[in-house]
Structure 1
Amino acid sequence: MTESSAAAPGCTPELPPPPPFDPALARNVHNPYLPTTHPPMNVLAIVSLVCSFVLPVCAVIVGHIALRRIRRTGSRGYSFAVAGTFIGYVGVALGILIAVLLFVAGLTSSPAVAASSIFTG
């Protein structure tokens, strides 16, 4: 080693200069001060979930439309649309079950008792 290239005892050697700034690489670094870009939330997915508790048939229709749009556009809300569609199908099934049970209960009751209760108030 030569005298000029050796560092003095107790001193660190000189570091090479940093590479030039590259804006393309800066975009990949997480910066908490820059806004994050998320795909937009699909509004129909939220509508499907809300409607599933009130209007289950509407929830099923809107949920399927939301799922198709989410697949096509890549927007967020897939779980909301699936939940709304599923709860809507459960609501429709319960509604059909209750209607069938009421219909069967109406057929098994005596017509005279049903007629007298209607006219007597």
Structure 2
Amino acid sequence: MTYPPDPYQPPDPYRPSDPYRPLDPYQAVQPPPPDPTPSYPPPYTPTSPAPSSGSGYPPPPPYGGGPAYGPPPGYPPPAKSPFGPPGYGASYGPQNTSAMAIASLVCSIAGVVTCISAPVGVVLGHLAKRQIRETGEGGEGLATAGLWVGYILTVIGVVTALFYAAIFIWAIAEGTNVTTTF
């Protein structure tokens, strides 16, 4: 379907007369001849009748000449999306973040001070990742961060506890071998 040319726009000098024939880059393009019809509104000249308002400018054009809605005359209707309207499952707003993922990260970071909440953060992180897969909520990155921080702090805590236990056992073993001489 073709649309009539827009009467308010001059023809495009670079558009070929046959739209299916490609432009020849070596062919010289001549500019279009000047439009013989006068433009609207005609320019103000001192010999034209005096305006009614006394301001020195021509009166404004009358109102109510064009359509109230839609594109200007001669333009094609607006294009529709090739994909159609969005489906029922489309969401446009921000996703809800899983509260369990937030709790996982908070508990894991608090494990620096409490030394016991890091394993709780690991458990909450695994539960949050499963909940996110089932419900489609946001916060998978928070749950992953909670898992990593929780695992690292748990390993550091276990290694530190084993180190102190080994020192304590060594100190007890050395203490029994000490002889006192006075």
TM-score range for the pair, normalised by the shorter chain length: 0.5 to 0.7
Match of 1:94 in 2: 156
Alignment of 1:3-42 (within 5 A): 9=35, 14-16=73-75, 18=77, 36-42=92-98
1:1-36 Cα distance to aligned partner (Å, 9 max, x none):
xxxx9x59367xx514635x9xxx787xxxxxxxx5
Q: Please give the TM-score of this superposition, normalised by the length of structure 2.
A: 0.45
Between the aligned partners of 1:95 and 1:17, the Cα distance in structure 2 is 70
Match of 1:66 in 2: 128
Unmatched tracts of structure 1, length 5 or more: 28-35, 114-121
TM-fit CA distance, 1:80: 0.4
Between the aligned partners of 1:72 and 1:26, the Cα distance in structure 2 is 26
1:65-112 Cα distance to aligned partner (Å, 9 max, x none):
000011111111001000001110111101110111011101111335
TM-fit CA distance, 1:48: 0.5
Equivalent pairs, count = 97
Q: Which of 138, 159, 163 pairs up with 1:76?
A: 138
TM-fit CA distance, 1:39: 2.2
* Higher RCO by CA contacts (8 Å cutoff, separation 6 or greater): 1
Between the aligned partners of 2:76 and 2:119, the Cα distance in structure 1 is 67
Between the aligned partners of 2:106 and 2:144, the Cα distance in structure 1 is 12
RMSD: 3.3
SS state at 1:37 partner:
coil
Q: Which of 88, 108, 127 pairs up with 1:52?
A: 108
Unmatched tracts of structure 2, length 5 or more: 9-34, 40-72, 87-91, 111-116, 178-182
Pick the structure with more helix per residue: 1
Q: Please give the TM-score of this superposition, normalised by the length of structure 1.
A: 0.65
Task: State, as a whole percentage, how many aligned pairs show the same letter.
Answer: 29
Q: Which has the larger radius of gyration?
A: 2
